[in-house]
């Protein structure tokens, strides 16, 4: 491919114009600093973004967030909207970890109280929350129970004593997609899910205990139940083997059906009107409900550990929000002055609806809902809130994390295990991992600097910071 004609179109905004000679059906927009856009140009992810513009039925530009990097077909850190009526859904635009996302719990103790029991609490979390590749959970559900989880989402978890009724309003989509179709999930996927509910997984998935280190907007911070030096717990995980199997199953089915003309076979899709379109959406929503429930159960374990260690009431530990960053969703957006139904694919990108959107939980209709952005291991995380402007610019989306800069393989080759461990120790972060290699693979040096990502997002006017969170301890697969 000849060099892509990137041009600056605004502060922290770059564009690639539609070029029919390249087969593009729309342009592309990249929200990033000069430095981050150069990183994206060199790793091949912008080329992936341009491939997405070649798909039929795309509406508006293909969008890249500053944390963009290479993914399966679609880049991670990308947003692409398609017409609902004559558009498509693509499993690669959702990702293998369906409804991967982040939950944040506010715990009403201060840093100094936590410090006295830090090691004991982190060790207890590591002991109670199964972590690592292929790990089984303690629940071991029947097929019938798993079907309820996939249909009812966190409502099932709460009814079974592992959550608080108030959590529903603080979970994206109220913790349940209504068109989940259990019958569209294969027996192989179901079998993996039965053993894995309530498990963390591996790679970049984690539970982190943090303190609120800086408050940028005290009014919204207090509405979100966050104040300086108060303790938070952040969970990053998704739909585990179940979602992975759903993605594998449908990508395979779509490739076998083989009717699409594709710029890259990893972009394989189903058009609205085809059987696999409805089947995939039903299965994706079932996996999404599993992922919401998985995070809710891990939050329950965290609440139990803290209730015991600090003599707290379960209900005093409030979920700030539980957000999704790997989904395709049917939403209404204004397109050229007309309300239009779209399927918005966000892969490694979060929804960040500003105040006023009906989808937001009741509190968040006033404030906009929280955008949870974890930094790399050992660096700060951020809570942001969507700005009105992002409805026009990004279909109401924001970034999802720091974004990798070097591959897992390269991290193992170039980073030194003991040096990374020492650096985390010096920063005052207590780390427990199920495997050793994850320390290098997920080292801060494998990722972009979160501050650069946040500066880009704020500079482009998509979202603004509410608080930063600094890590005190972390458990990982």
Residue 344 CB, shortest distance to DNA, in Å, is 21
Residue 356 CB, shortest distance to DNA, in Å, is 34
> Which CB, 433 or 465, lies closer to DNA?
433
Catalytic residue selected from 244, 325, 369, 400? 400
Place of tokens 């897992």: 408
Q: Are 354 and 329 in contact (CB under 8 A)?
A: no
- Cα-Cα-Cα-Cα dihedral of 118, 120, 125, 131, to 10°? 100
Residue 327 CB, shortest distance to DNA, in Å, is 15
Place of tokens 């199997």: 245
| Site track 225-244 with DNA (rule: CB under 7 A), x = hit | ------------xx-xx--x
Q: Does 203 bind DNA (CB under 7 A)?
A: yes
- Cα-Cα-Cα-Cα dihedral of 348, 446, 16, 370, to 10°? 40
In angstroms, the CA 151 to CA 145 distance is 10
Q: Does 290 bind DNA (CB under 7 A)?
A: no
Q: Does 442 bind DNA (CB under 7 A)?
A: yes
* Angle made by CA atoms 31, 333, 54, in degrees to the nearest 5: 60
Residue 50 CB, shortest distance to DNA, in Å, is 23
Q: Is 231 helix (H, G, I), strand (E, B) or coil?
A: strand
> Which CB, 99 or 398, lies closer to DNA?
99
In angstroms, the CA 325 to CA 237 distance is 10
Residue 133 CB, shortest distance to DNA, in Å, is 4
DSSP string, 387-448: -TTHHHHHSSEE--S--BSS-HHHHHHHS-HHHHHHHHHHTT-EEEESSSHHHHHTSGGGB-
Contacts of 462 (CB under 8 A, 6+ apart): 31, 352, 386, 387, 389, 390, 393, 394, 397, 398, 399
Q: Does 330 bind DNA (CB under 7 A)?
A: no
> Which CB, 136 or 455, lies closer to DNA?
136
Ramachandran quadrant class, 378 (left: phi over 0; alpha: psi -120 to 50; beta: rest): left
| Site track 238-277 with DNA (rule: CB under 7 A), x = hit | x-xx--xx--------------------------------
Q: Does 173 bind DNA (CB under 7 A)?
A: no
Residue 456 CB, shortest distance to DNA, in Å, is 21
Q: Does 205 bind DNA (CB under 7 A)?
A: yes
Size of the site for DNA (CB under 7 A): 23
| C-alpha distance from residue 298 to each of 42, 128, 155, 324 (Å) | 37, 9, 15, 16
Q: Does 445 bind DNA (CB under 7 A)?
A: no
**Of 15, 27, 191, 355, which lies in the binding site for DNA, with binding defined by CB under 7 A?**
191
Q: Does 31 bind DNA (CB under 7 A)?
A: no
| Closest to 395 in 3D by CA, of 320, 321, 330 | 330
Instruction: Determine whether 325 is an active site residue.
Output: no
**Residues making contact with DNA (CB under 7 A):** 96-97, 100, 133-134, 188, 191-192, 196, 201-205, 237-238, 240-241, 244-245, 435, 442, 477
| Catalytic (active-site) positions | 400
């Amino acid at each position: 491919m000849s060099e892509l004609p990137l041009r600056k179109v605004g502060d922290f905004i770059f564009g690639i114009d539609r070029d029919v000679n390249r087969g593009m059906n729309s342009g592309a927009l990249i929200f990033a600093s000069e430095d981050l856009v150069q990183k994206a140009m060199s790793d091949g992810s912008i080329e992936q973004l341009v491939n997405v513009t070649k798909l039929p039925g795309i509406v508006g530009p293909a969008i890249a967030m500053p944390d963009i990097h290479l993914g399966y077909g679609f880049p991670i850190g990308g947003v692409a909207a398609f017409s609902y009526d004559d558009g498509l859904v693509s499993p690669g635009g959702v990702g293998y970890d369906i409804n991967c996302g982040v939950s944040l719990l506010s715990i009403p103790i201060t840093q100094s109280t936590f410090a006295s029991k830090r090691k004991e609490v982190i060790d207890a979390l590591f002991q109670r929350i199964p972590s690592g590749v292929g790990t089984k959970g303690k629940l071991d559900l029947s097929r019938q129970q798993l079907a309820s989880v996939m249909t009812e989402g966190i409502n099932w978890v709460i009814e079974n004593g592992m959550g608080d009724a108030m959590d529903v309003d603080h979970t994206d989509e109220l913790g349940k997609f209504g068109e989940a179709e259990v019958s569209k999930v294969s027996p192989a996927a179901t079998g993996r899910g039965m053993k894995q509910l309530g498990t963390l997984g591996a790679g970049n998935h984690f539970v982190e205990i943090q303190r609120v280190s800086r408050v940028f907007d005290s009014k919204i911070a207090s509405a979100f139940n966050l104040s300086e030096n108060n303790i938070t717990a952040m969970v990053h995980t998704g739909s585990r083997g179940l979602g992975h199997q759903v993605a594998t199953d449908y990508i395979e089915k779509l490739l076998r059906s083989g009717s699409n003309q594709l710029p890259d076979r990893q972009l394989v899709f189903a058009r609205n009107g085809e059987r696999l379109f409805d089947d995939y959406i039903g299965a994706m929503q079932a996996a999404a409900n599993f992922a919401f429930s998985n995070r809710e159960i891990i939050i329950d374990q965290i609440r139990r550990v803290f209730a015991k260690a600090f003599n707290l009431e379960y209900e005093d530990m409030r979920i700030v929000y539980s957000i999704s960053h790997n989904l395709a969703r049917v939403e209404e957006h204004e397109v050229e002055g007309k309300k239009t139904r779209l399927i918005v694919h966000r892969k490694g990108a979060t929804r960040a609806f500003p105040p006023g959107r009906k989808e937001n939980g009741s509190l968040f209709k006033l404030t906009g809902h929280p955008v949870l952005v974890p930094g790399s291991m050992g660096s700060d995380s951020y809570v942001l809130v969507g700005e009105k402007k992002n409805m026009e610019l990004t279909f109401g989306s924001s970034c999802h994390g720091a974004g990798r800069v070097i591959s897992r393989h390269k991290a193992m080759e170039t980073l030194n295990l003991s040096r990374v461990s020492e650096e985390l120790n010096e920063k005052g972060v207590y780390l427990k991992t199920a495997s050793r290699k994850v320390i290098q693979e997920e080292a801060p040096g494998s990722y972009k600097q979160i501050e650069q990502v946040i500066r880009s997002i704020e500079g482009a006017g998509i979202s603004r910071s509410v608080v930063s969170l600094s890590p005190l301890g972390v458990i990982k697969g």
